[in-house]
Every structure is written in structure tokens, then in C-alpha cells.
Amino acid sequence: MDLSSRRGLFVRGAMLLLLCTGGHAQIPKKNSRPLPPFVEMMPGAKQVTESYFSNNLRVGGMVLLFVEEPPAAIITFYRESMQRNGLTPGKETVTPKGVTVLKGSSADGKRELVLEVNPSKTSRIAIQLNYLTNK
């Protein structure tokens, strides 16, 4: 069995696990780090996973969450959060796959937060927060 076949089996197995548990399985957190002060967690959000990176130019990461709020409420919360935390939110855009994207940046260009709200047929919405701080 080649690597791509095993990867596909792993992905299908993980999806099956989530479906069988009602999507409430949580991936264990390893080396969890605090989020930067300009990245707020929406009340009631349940964190699924996170990742971080750091290099000579930037520090950043991604957090994947589930939220049981309508997409408009999620966007309103994060637009206000960006403003509270010194970021200027731009206009929402929608990708061809229906993902709503809202990007906020600081005036000096050193901090950035991107919200992605994924389409859902249920009340449970997957959102992704991508953040970046230039050194």
C-alpha cells in the first residue's frame, strides 16, 4: 500500500470517527500556546485543533473552531473583535466553495487576522482563524 492510499484511509477513518461520535470528538492538544491578544475566541466556540509557526520574519498560527451561531452573528462578532483589538476589518468575500472570508489588519501592517466561515447544513459552523504577527 503506497503512502497516498494510507493517507486516504486515515482521512476517511478520521471522518468516520467524527460522524460516529456525532462530530464531538476532540483532537488532543499538544503544546497548546496562548493566542495573541488580538485573537478572541467567540463565546461558546469549541476548539478542534490549532497550529503555530515562527520564523525570522513572522509568528502566526491557525485555530479551527465549531460555533453554534448563524454565519451573520459570527461575522459581526469578529468584525467588532477586530475593531476592539486595533485591526481594520475589510469587506467580506465569498470563495467559489461558499466560504465567507473576513480579513483585518493593523494600521502598521504588523498584525493580521483572517476569519473563514465554512458553509454548513446544520447549526454547527466550522470557522478558522488565521493570524500573523510580523517581527
Query: How confident is the model over 58-97, as pLDDT tens digits?
Result: 999 999 999 999 999 999 999 999 999 999 999 999 999 9
- Above 50 in pLDDT, residue 31? yes
Rounded to two decimals, what is the model's pTM?
0.76
Query: Cβ(115)–Cβ(129) under 8 Å?
Result: yes
Radius of gyration of the chain (CA): 16
**Could you read off the pLDDT of 12-25 as tens digits, one per residue?**
554 444 444 444 43
State the pLDDT at residue 70: 96
Sign of the dihedral through C-alpha 118, 76, 48, 85: positive
Band of the pLDDT at 26, cuts 50, 70, 90?
very low
